[in-house]
């Protein structure tokens, strides 16, 4: 997409030289900084004041070794990320206030980070050639957070160079020295980083665009050698092409909405960097796939901060408001822009405070704040969506409104990036409130991404809204997938049908399991899950699972009631002559889960009563007014 169009003899002339690349005002260019809304100025200066005389946290060798010893990655990661967040906040505060009172703390932050042995995190040290509980300083790998760090320091250099040079020329020289040896040189010299996709890697994910976007920022801002800058741009375009080529044409993010911020969102970051550094010459925003990548996020939108959270995503996601708005403006999509504006209106100044404090998002969030605030576009609440590449169905009761029932369901395969074993899984919301849910993700540990991943309960199909057959859950692997997938949309109904038998191993003894998930928009709308199954031998070991954050109220005669704290209620109906219900309370110990759902989740089990070799299970979910 990029390489075939723009890698040519004209690339050198279309790329701005380092001294001419001025995407945002530096601290000397006071006009735009002084014109920021007063509430935004106060908010960010307040953040800087809260970090005056900051005691930069020590990062020890033993903290790093905790990951290999105990699997804990929280303590080291948090200490590392806190350093970078504080530095970013101090830089913005100084640029807004321009009185010099944050500069010494900024220099201390720069020096602390430059003194670190490794800019990445322990969980990513598997990329090093020598495996040890401590990082190998001679092996400069580029991973997510080493690249993030380089970009942060590059923007600090860009924004504050003259002020820093007045104190000591060594500060900016140190920034270039460290970024060059840790990021710029390895980026140009090595092709073996898996995320680059230059060695026929089978799977690429958010790492590709995320790392490339930060490496590009570092090159475009810091590198004054035009040949090296051009070589980096060429490499980035070739690498990005490999990732985009592997994505589905529907633009869907199989990693979930949380990772859209760092998958589709960082593809957009890359495209913006190339667009601005070439004064608009490198421009692929008209491409259908690029447009669909942006649109995914409102197709996955439920209401408030809730999104369809399949894969490693929490149910509530705080998307970058201004980036979402700007993406919509670039591709001419008023729904996407309105979603970004809606998020900013809900969160106000906090919408500009972003996870990991990426400057290439934070700066436009500041300078476009007033524009986003005043924007009024098309409602982001779409009634129906079908993403045929990742097999995601979305249906709500009415267009342009979060009111009533909402359904999302998926097919796909169990070898997706950030995969959960969840083929045939679905979620149900009512008036924007979660009723039947996907639990989401647990705090990341050493088990999360390697051989022990599926020992974690949140990744298992038994903790998704799926059947357990003969004591057997779904199996991980790309070969375990949905078959005969059929999506249908009519005016009064939307449905997704698939055979999920292939998602289970042979030991489950399933010949066929056709699940049809439908949203019926009749006078009294309802959602129906219809399973038609055939197994190899007669069995009474068939259990349907439904996960909810609320204690179900058993009504008898095949009826359960779920009610949230705002008195939204749904009824779950099933055939009590065939299935018996029971409720299992799952206490939550994990911090991420507790922050999301509270103390517990509830697992509804509908267990078949009489042994069968074939049969059906129909579950109907309706809104109780």
What's the sign of the alpha-carbon dihedral 25, 27, 30, 35?
A: positive
Q: Mean pLDDT, to the nearest integer, of 176-190? A: 98
Longest dimension (CA), the chain: 83
> DSSP per residue over 140-191, as a string?
----HHHHHHHHHHHHHHHHHHHHHHHH-HHHHHHHHHHHIIIIIHHHHH--
What pLDDT score does 563 carry? 98
What pLDDT score does 556 carry? 86
pLDDT digits (tens, 9 = 90+) for 219-273: 999 999 999 999 999 999 999 999 999 999 999 999 999 999 999 999 999 999 9
What's the sign of the alpha-carbon dihedral 8, 12, 13, 14?
A: positive
Q: Is the pLDDT of residue 587 over 90?
A: yes
> DSSP per residue over 338-392, as a string?
HHHHHHHHHHGGGGG--TT--HHHHHHHHHTHHHHHH-----S--SEEEETTTTE
Question: Per DSSP, what are the bridge partners of residue 520?
Answer: 493, 526
Confidence label for 445 from pLDDT (cuts 50, 70 and 90): very high
Q: Report how far residue 16's alpha carbon sits from residue 24's, in angstroms, rounded to the nearest whole number.
A: 14
Task: Give CA angle at 68 (66, 71), nearest 5°.
Answer: 70
What does the block give as tokens for 562? 């779920």
Q: Mean pLDDT, to the nearest integer, of 15-30? A: 97
What's the sign of the alpha-carbon dihedral 108, 112, 113, 114?
A: positive
pLDDT digits (tens, 9 = 90+) for 306-340: 999 999 999 999 999 999 999 999 999 999 999 99
Q: Mean pLDDT, to the nearest integer, of 147-168? A: 98
Question: Per DSSP, what are the bridge partners of residue 528?
Answer: 518, 620
393 close to 494: Cβ distance less than 8 angstroms: yes
Packing angle of the helix pair 288-299, 264-277 (nearest 10 deg):
140
Confidence (pTM): 0.97
pLDDT digits (tens, 9 = 90+) for 518-557: 999 988 999 999 999 999 999 999 999 999 999 999 998 9
What pLDDT score does 326 carry? 98
Q: Is the pLDDT of residue 84 over 90?
A: yes
Mean pLDDT across the chain: 97
Task: Give CA angle at 374 (369, 378), nearest 5°.
Answer: 115
In the chain, count H helices and then E strands.
20, 21
502 close to 474: Cβ distance less than 8 angstroms: no
DSSP assigned state of 444: P
Residue 468 has, within 13 A of its CA and on its CB side, a CA count of 17
Confidence label for 502 from pLDDT (cuts 50, 70 and 90): very high
12 close to 230: Cβ distance less than 8 angstroms: yes
Confidence label for 613 from pLDDT (cuts 50, 70 and 90): very high
Q: Mean pLDDT, to the nearest integer, of 389-413? A: 98
What does the block give as tokens for 180? 């060059």
What's the first-to-final CA gap in the chain, in angstroms? 51
Q: Is the pLDDT of residue 202 over 90?
A: no
Q: Is the pLDDT of residue 201 over 90?
A: no
Backbone angles phi and psi of 301, in degrees to 5: -80, 135
What pLDDT score does 143 carry? 98
Tokens 């298992």 correspond to 460
Map residue 280 onto helix, strand or coil.
coil
164 close to 153: Cβ distance less than 8 angstroms: no
Residue 97 has, within 13 A of its CA and on its CB side, a CA count of 19
Backbone angles phi and psi of 282, in degrees to 5: -85, 100
Q: Mean pLDDT, to the nearest integer, of 269-292? A: 98
341 close to 321: Cβ distance less than 8 angstroms: yes
What pLDDT score does 200 carry? 87
Q: Report how far residue 51's alpha carbon sits from residue 43's, in angstroms, rounded to the nearest whole number.
A: 13
Q: Report how far residue 336's alpha carbon sits from residue 323's, in angstroms, rounded to the nearest whole number.
A: 10
């Amino acid at each position: 997409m990029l390489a075939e169009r723009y890698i040519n003899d004209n690339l050198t002339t279309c790329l701005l030289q380092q001294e001419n690349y001025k995407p945002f005002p530096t601290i000397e260019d006071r006009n735009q900084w002084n014109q920021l809304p007063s509430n935004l100025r106060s908010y960010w200066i307040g953040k800087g004041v809260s970090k005056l005389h900051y005691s930069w946290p020590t990062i020890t060798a033993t903290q790093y070794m905790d990951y290999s010893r105990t699997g804990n990655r929280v303590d080291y990661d948090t200490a590392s990320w806190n350093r970078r967040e504080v530095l970013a906040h101090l830089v913005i505060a100084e640029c807004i206030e321009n009185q010099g009172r944050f500069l010494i703390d900024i220099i201390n932050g720069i020096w602390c980070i430059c003194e670190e042995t490794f800019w990445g995190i322990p969980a990513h040290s598997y990329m090093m050639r020598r495996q040890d509980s401590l990082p190998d300083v001679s092996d400069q790998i580029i991973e997510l957070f080493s690249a993030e760090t380089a970009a942060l320091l590059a923007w600090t250099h860009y924004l504050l160079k003259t002020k820093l040079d007045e104190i000591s020329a060594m500060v900016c020289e140190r920034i270039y020295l460290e970024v060059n040896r840790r990021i710029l040189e390895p980026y140009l010299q090595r092709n073996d980083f898996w995320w680059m996709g230059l060695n026929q890697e089978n799977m690429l994910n958010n790492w590709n665009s995320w790392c490339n976007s930060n490496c590009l920022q570092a090159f475009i801002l810091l590198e004054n050698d035009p040949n090296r800058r051009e070589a980096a741009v060429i490499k980035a375009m070739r690498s990005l092409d490999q990732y985009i080529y592997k994505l589905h044409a529907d633009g869907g993010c199989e990693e979930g909405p949380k990772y859209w911020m760092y998958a589709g969102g960082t593809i957009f970051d890359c495209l913006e960097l190339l667009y601005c550094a070439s004064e608009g010459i490198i421009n692929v925003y008209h491409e259908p796939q690029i447009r669909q990548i942006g649109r995914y996020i409102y197709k996955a939108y439920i209401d408030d901060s809730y999104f369809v959270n399949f894969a490693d995503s929490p149910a509530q996601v705080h998307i970058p408001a201004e980036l979402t708005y700007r993406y919509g403006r670039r591709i001419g999509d008023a729904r996407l822009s309105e979603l970004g504006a809606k998020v900013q209106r809900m969160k106000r100044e906090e919408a500009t405070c972003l996870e990991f404090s990426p400057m290439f998002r934070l700066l436009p969030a500041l300078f476009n704040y007033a524009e986003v605030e005043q924007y009024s576009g098309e409602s982001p609440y779409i009634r129906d969506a079908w993403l045929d590449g990742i097999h995601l169905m979305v249906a709500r009761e009415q267009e342009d409104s979060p009111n009533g029932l909402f359904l999302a369901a998926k097919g796909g395969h169990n070898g997706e990036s950030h995969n959960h074993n969840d083929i045939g899984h679905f979620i149900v919301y009512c008036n924007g409130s979660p009723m039947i849910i996907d639990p989401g993700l647990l705090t990341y540990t050493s088990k999360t991404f390697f051989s022990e991943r599926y020992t974690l309960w949140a990744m298992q199909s038994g903790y998704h809204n799926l059947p357990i057959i003969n004591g057997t859950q779904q199996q991980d692997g790309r070969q375990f997938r949905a078959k005969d997938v059929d999506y249908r949309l009519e005016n009064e109904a939307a449905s997704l049908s698939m055979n999920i038998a292939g998602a289970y191993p042979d030991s489950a003894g399933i010949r066929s399991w056709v699940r049809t998930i439908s949203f019926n928009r009749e006078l009294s709308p309802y959602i129906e899950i219809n399973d038609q199954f055939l197994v190899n031998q007669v069995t009474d070991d068939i259990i349907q699972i439904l996960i909810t954050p609320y204690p179900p109220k058993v009504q008898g005669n095949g009826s359960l009631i779920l009610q949230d704290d705002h008195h939204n209620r749904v009824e779950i109906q099933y055939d009590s002559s065939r299935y018996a219900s029971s409720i299992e309370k799952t206490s939550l110990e994990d911090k991420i889960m507790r922050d999301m759902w509270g103390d517990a989740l509830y697992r509804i089990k509908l267990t078949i009563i009489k042994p069968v070799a074939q049969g059906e299970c129909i579950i109907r979910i309706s809104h109780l007014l």
